[in-house]
């Protein structure tokens, strides 16, 4: 029986890159997103071409009721969950200096990127514990996709940085709590990745990368993140719970 992975925000960008690599490595896939199911038909078809059973779970992770519905749909369809990939995230609707940023924007970003992820993890973790208690051979893990913004300050999108820094601590908290059940929790921290979220700043980052922003002078791609997540999901780092996997082309290496 195949292992099952739930990827939030899995219908586009980094999330799709992750879902595709997991499907290619033999996982059945549940992807979550806020769009109507009809809008992600091509994505589901592409994932199924890898031989995966694919379920689309519409829902907003910032909503308590939607989080419960997503987990219930996975239970009803698959009856099991081995890997949760918390990838869903939003950027500020408008980049504003922290001296001018609004509470509305802060709440919007935090409720999805941090609060939603935190409590979806709680639901999935409790289910994984139940599976482990029923079957000692059960193996599960949780993978949080954060950002270099967890430690790299951008004063024109402070709410995003705070959300990712919080997610980094949430990774450590759940890693400690789930250690007794041998359910590792990891953080994957991407750098500048070529997605629709960064498309509006393409010219800016093209120049920065050309000028040496990253050690590896290119954009990152969703498949770069997908490969890292797949390695973790496959159990290739069983003794590394709570650790951060950098996927940033060397951007955050201190240099003189």
Q: Catalytic positions, please?
A: 160
The answer to whether 160 and 92 have CB atoms below 8 angstroms apart is yes
Question: What does residue 234 show for φ and ψ, rounded to 5 degrees?
Answer: -75, -5
Beta-carbon count within 10 A of 77 CB: 14
The span from the CA of 193 to the CA of 199, in Å, is 9
The answer to whether 143 and 168 have CB atoms below 8 angstroms apart is no
In the chain the first and final C-alpha atoms are separated, in Å, by 51
Q: Which residues contact 124 (CB under 8 A, 6 or more apart)?
A: 6, 71, 81, 84, 142
Sheet containing 83-86: order of strands? 54-58, 28-33, 4-8, 83-86, 141-145, 185-190, 244-247
The answer to whether 183 and 142 have CB atoms below 8 angstroms apart is yes
At 223 the three-state DSSP class reads helix
């Amino acid at each position: 029986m195949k292992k099952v992975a739930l990827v939030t925000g899995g219908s586009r960008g980094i999330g799709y890159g992750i879902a595709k690599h997991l499907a290619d490595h033999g996982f059945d896939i549940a992807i979550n997103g806020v769009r109507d199911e009809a809008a992600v038909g091509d994505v589901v078809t592409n994932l199924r071409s890898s031989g995966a059973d694919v379920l689309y779970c519409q829902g907003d992770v910032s909503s308590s009721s939607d989080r419960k519905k997503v987990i219930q749909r996975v239970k009803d369809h698959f009856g099991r969950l081995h890997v949760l990939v918390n990838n869903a995230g939003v950027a500020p609707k408008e980049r504003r200096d922290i001296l001018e940023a609004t509470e509305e924007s802060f709440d919007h970003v935090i409720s999805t990127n941090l609060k939603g992820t935190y409590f979806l993890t709680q639901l999935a973790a409790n289910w994984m514990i139940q599976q482990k208690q029923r079957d000692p051979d059960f193996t599960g893990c949780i993978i949080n996709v954060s950002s270099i913004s967890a430690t790299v300050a951008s004063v024109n999108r402070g709410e995003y940085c705070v959300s990712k820094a919080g997610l980094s601590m949430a990774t450590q908290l759940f890693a400690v709590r789930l250690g007794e059940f041998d359910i590792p929790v990891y953080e994957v921290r991407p750098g500048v990745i070529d997605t629709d979220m960064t498309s509006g700043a393409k010219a800016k980052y093209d120049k920065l990368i050309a000028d040496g922003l990253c050690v590896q002078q290119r954009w990152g791609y969703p498949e770069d993140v997908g490969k890292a997540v797949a390695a973790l999901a496959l159990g290739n780092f069983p003794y590394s719970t709570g650790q951060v996997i950098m996927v940033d082309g060397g951007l955050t290496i201190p240099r003189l």
